[in-house]
Amino acid sequence: MSKVRRLAAVCGLSLIVSLLLAGVAVAADQRAVLFLETRPSAKPEQGYVLAARLVATDGRPVNEATVRFYDLVEFFGAREMLIGSATTDGQGIATLTYLPAQLGPRAIVAKFAGRAGVAATEGRASLAATVAAQPYTVEPAPLSAFSSKVPYAVGAIVLAVWALIGFALIGTARGVMTGARKEGKWQTA
Amino acid sequence: MDSRTHTRYVERAMWPIGRGDRKFWIVVVVLSAMVAAGFYAYIYQLQRGLWVTGLNQKVSWGFYIINCVFFIGISYGGAMTSAILRLTNAKWRAPLTRLAEATAVAALLVGAVYPIIDLGRPDRALHLLLYPQVGSPIVWDLVAVSTYLVASFVFLYLPLIPDLAMCRDTLGPSAGRVRRTIYRVLALGWRGEPRQERSLARGIGIMAVLIIPLAVSVHSVLAWLFAVTARGGWHSTIFAPLFVLAAMLSGVAAVILVVAALRKVYGLQEFITAKHFRYLSYLLIALGVGYLYFMVSEYLTEAYVLERSTTPVLEAIFEGVYAPAFWVFTVGGLVLPLVVAALPGRFAIARACTGSALIIGGMWLKRFLIVVPGMAEPVMPWDWGRYAPTWVEVTITIGSAAAIPLLLIVFFRFFPAMSVHEMEEVEGAELRRTRMVPAFAGGGDE
């Protein structure tokens, strides 16, 4: 009798655990959709607003979720360049302002890495950038105006030195050889 | 000067040419074997890479850079000795200038090779020519050393012209056709005419003036390779003049040793006397005292301020792992030799040679103390680097050191060790061409 009760207890426990695990699995598998849209910023010089809306398949917004935004770039092959990340609000919306480095069409990707109860997802959008960040200009180093001329001055000195060496060698050789020729004529005379 | 004295000069200057007794060949074979061992070690390094040396990620400059600075310094001293003595018209210079100039060229040829030996991939040395960056001190070094090398050759060649003519006129058919042709071509038809004398004097004068700033620039650039680097113990404004003085000091010491050795080997005691060694010792003492002053000035200012990057290097040098080398250099390689050279009394030659040998050893140690502690000090919060040379570096160093005397004795087997023309010129005697011709013409091909 006691064996039967123990077996029944184990089976019951197994059933309860299985049901719990199945419930978690069902919860983790709950899908979400990420809608991404881009629009010009209210202040055009600030670039574009990237807005990602994360909603579960049942239509409820997913809040407090971190969304990462990427720009697809060509850098030794196609790569995702991280723009930044933002957290969804109560309506499941995460926004980020982005000023591209280059003009022209851009492909933007927003990614949600998933969390307990919500599966990972991503959304894509395109952007025709008509404003871009100013090209980065290196600040002139101190004394750059002066130091840019130094190589020319040093080069002139080096050339002058080589010219002097050449003059010393060739001038001496010419002088000695000319003297020798005159001596030859004198001897002949 | 009478013709008998002239003949004696010529005989003595020409004596080593083409002559080689058993001792000569033994010396040549021994030196050649050492140079060959150095070549073998380099080929070994070339095949396996720089890991066969003691160089490592933290201490990437070692024996090779030390030797580069050291040998170029010796060259500089040789050139400067000759140039200064010429410009000041020191009458006692005549038997020494050729030896000093040849030492300069030989040491420079050896020293200039070291930056390439230091490269794991020597083929990349070509990148210096193909993609030069004017902001890089290595490019400055290439320009300075190549210019100085050419100038040193010219400075050696020009005073040699009258002596080449002497070889052309004096050496008989036994010298061989090729050699006599070389003498004839290089002598440029020299006959000792006033016009030729004027041209030669002008050329030598230009080179004597030019070689001094050139040599200064070469060693300054070598110093700037260190000084423009933000490393403890290197980033010093006084480095360039310190390097220049160090080079002159070790160079004059090397000239004293070379002159003493060749004087004995070639029997030049009649022309190079104790007086010459005394004068060279005075030069050595003046340079040594100057160097001591610069060194004290450098360490005083650095040790007083104690910047964060410099302090560990100074600690390591004065009382740490490099202290034995530093104190051996300071006492045994600088102060003691100067005292030995300055002592009055007999044995001037022996004292000059002893002092010079100690100074050469000391100055090599000093270069070690500049290069290695500066490299070993960590610029990141890591342990100190360690450097111990391997047999490869030691063998290459010995081989290259042997190459200098080998180059010199080979050179003086073909060219006069003393400038007869200059000795006569200094003594104020005119070349008696009409008397000379019968004496020298025997067997000449002119």
- Say yes or no to pLDDT of B445 above 50: no
Q: Encoding tokens for residue B182?
A: 């070389």
CA B257/CA B239 separation, integer angstroms = 27
Residues of A whose CB is below 8 A from B216: none
> What are the tens digits of pLDDT across the range B368-390?
999 999 888 887 777 888 899 99
Domain-located, residue B446: no
CA A79/CA A126 separation, integer angstroms = 16
Residues of A whose CB is below 8 A from B134: 151
* Shortest Cα distance, chain B CAs vs residue A181, angstroms: 8
Q: Please state, in angstroms and as integers, the Cα–Cα distance from residue B404 to each residue in B17, B68, B73, B328, following that order.
A: 18, 13, 13, 26
CA B387/CA B319 separation, integer angstroms = 18
For an interface test with A, give the residue of B157, B199, B216 to mutate (most A CBs within 10 A): B199
**Residues on chain B bordering chain A, Cβ-to-Cβ distance under 8 angstroms:** 134, 143, 147, 150-151, 154, 157-158, 161, 188-191, 193-196, 198-200, 202-204, 206-207, 210, 214
Q: Please state, in angstroms and as integers, the Cα–Cα distance from residue B310 to each residue in B147, B224, B319, B374, following that order.
A: 34, 17, 14, 9
Average pLDDT over residues B168-197: 84
Lowest-pLDDT choice from A96-100, B164-168, B176-180? B176-180
Residues of B whose CB is below 8 A from A165: 147, 150-151, 154, 207, 210
What per-residue confidence (pLDDT) applies to B402? Answer: 95
Contact A175 B198 (CB under 8 A): yes
For an interface test with A, give the residue of B139, B169, B188 to mutate (most A CBs within 10 A): B188
Q: What percent of chain B has pLDDT over 90?
A: 41
Q: What is the mean pLDDT of chain B?
A: 86
A166 CB within 8 Å of a chain B CB: no
Contact B189 A177 (CB under 8 A): yes
Q: How many domains does chain B have?
A: 1
Chain B residue with CA closest to A181: the answer is B189
- The 3-class SS string of A26-69 reads HHHCCCEEEEEEEEECCCHHHCEEEEEEEEECCCCECCCCEEEE
Contact A180 B150 (CB under 8 A): no
Going by pLDDT thresholds of 50, 70 and 90, the confidence category of residue B430 is very low
Q: Which of B194, B204, B206 lies nearest to residue A167, judging by beta carbons?
A: B206
- The 3-class SS string of A82-141 reads EEEEEECCCCCEEEEEECCCCCEEEEEEEEECCECCECCEEEEEEEEECCCCCCCCCCCC
- Say yes or no to pLDDT of B365 above 90: yes
Contact A165 B158 (CB under 8 A): no
Contact B206 A158 (CB under 8 A): no
Going by pLDDT thresholds of 50, 70 and 90, the confidence category of residue B107 is very high
> What are the tens digits of pLDDT across the range B54-96?
999 889 999 999 999 999 989 988 888 888 888 887 777 778 8
Q: Which of A165, A177, A182 lies nearest to residue B151, judging by beta carbons?
A: A165
Contact A151 B198 (CB under 8 A): no
Average pLDDT over residues B26-31: 93
What per-residue confidence (pLDDT) applies to B446? Answer: 29
What per-residue confidence (pLDDT) applies to B417? Answer: 84
- Say yes or no to pLDDT of A24 above 60: no
Going by pLDDT thresholds of 50, 70 and 90, the confidence category of residue B398 is very high
What per-residue confidence (pLDDT) applies to B95? Answer: 80
Q: Which of A161, A167, A183 lies nearest to residue B191, judging by beta carbons?
A: A183
What per-residue confidence (pLDDT) applies to B432? Answer: 45
Query: What is the SS3 assignment for A80?
Result: strand
* Shortest Cα distance, chain A CAs vs residue B193, angstroms: 7
What per-residue confidence (pLDDT) applies to B420? Answer: 80
Q: Which of B143, B194, B207 lies nearest to residue A168, judging by beta carbons?
A: B207
* Shortest Cα distance, chain B CAs vs residue A166, angstroms: 9
- Say yes or no to pLDDT of B427 above 80: no
Chain B residue with CA closest to A186: the answer is B193
DSSP state of B384: P
CA B145/CA B109 separation, integer angstroms = 10
Residues of A whose CB is below 8 A from B161: 172, 176
Q: Encoding tokens for residue B189?
A: 């038809």
Closest CA to A73 of A50, A107, A112: A107
For an interface test with B, give the residue of A176, A181, A186 to mutate (most B CBs within 10 A): A176
A157 CB within 8 Å of a chain B CB: no
Residues of A whose CB is below 8 A from B198: 175
- The 3-class SS string of B224-273 reads HHHHCCCCCCCCCCCHHHHHHHHHHHHHHHHHHHHHHHHHHHCCCCCCCC
Q: Encoding tokens for residue B31?
A: 């030196």
Average pLDDT over residues B432-443: 38
Average pLDDT over residues A60-77: 92
What per-residue confidence (pLDDT) applies to A184? Answer: 54
> What are the tens digits of pLDDT across the range A78-99?
899 999 999 999 999 999 999 9
Q: Which of B154, B194, B196 lies nearest to residue A165, judging by beta carbons?
A: B154
> What are the tens digits of pLDDT across the range B334-362?
999 999 988 887 788 889 999 999 999 99
Residues of B whose CB is below 8 A from A156: none
CA B420/CA B10 separation, integer angstroms = 6
Contact A161 B214 (CB under 8 A): yes
CATH fold of A27-129: Immunoglobulin-like (2.60.40)
Average pLDDT over residues B291-305: 91
Contact residues for A143 (Cβ-Cβ < 8 A; gap 6+): none
Closest CA to B221 of B300, B286, B152, B134: B134
Indicate the residue type of B122. Answer: P
More confident residue, B1 or A37: A37
Contact residues for B298 (Cβ-Cβ < 8 A; gap 6+): B236, B238, B239, B242
What per-residue confidence (pLDDT) applies to B441? Answer: 33
Contact B206 A164 (CB under 8 A): yes
* Shortest Cα distance, chain B CAs vs residue A173, angstroms: 7
User: Range of B196's domain?
Assistant: 3-441
Query: What is the SS3 assignment for A78?
Result: strand
Q: Are A168 and B158 in contact (CB under 8 A)?
A: yes
- Say yes or no to pLDDT of B234 above 90: no
Helix (H) or strand (E) segment spanning residue A70: strand A66-74
A170 CB within 8 Å of a chain B CB: no
Chain A residue with CA closest to B212: the answer is A161
Contact B202 A171 (CB under 8 A): yes
Contact A176 B161 (CB under 8 A): yes
- Say yes or no to pLDDT of B444 above 70: no
CA A171/CA A154 separation, integer angstroms = 25
Lowest-pLDDT choice from B341-345, B417-421, B433-437? B433-437
Question: What are the domain boundaries of chain A?
Answer: 27-129, 151-188
Q: Which of B150, B188, B206 lies nearest to residue A176, judging by beta carbons?
A: B188
CA A50/CA B286 separation, integer angstroms = 77
- Say yes or no to pLDDT of B221 above 60: yes
Provide φ and ψ at B272, rounded to 5°: -105, 110
What CATH number did the domain enclosing B242 receive?
A: 1.20.1630.10
Contact residues for A149 (Cβ-Cβ < 8 A; gap 6+): none
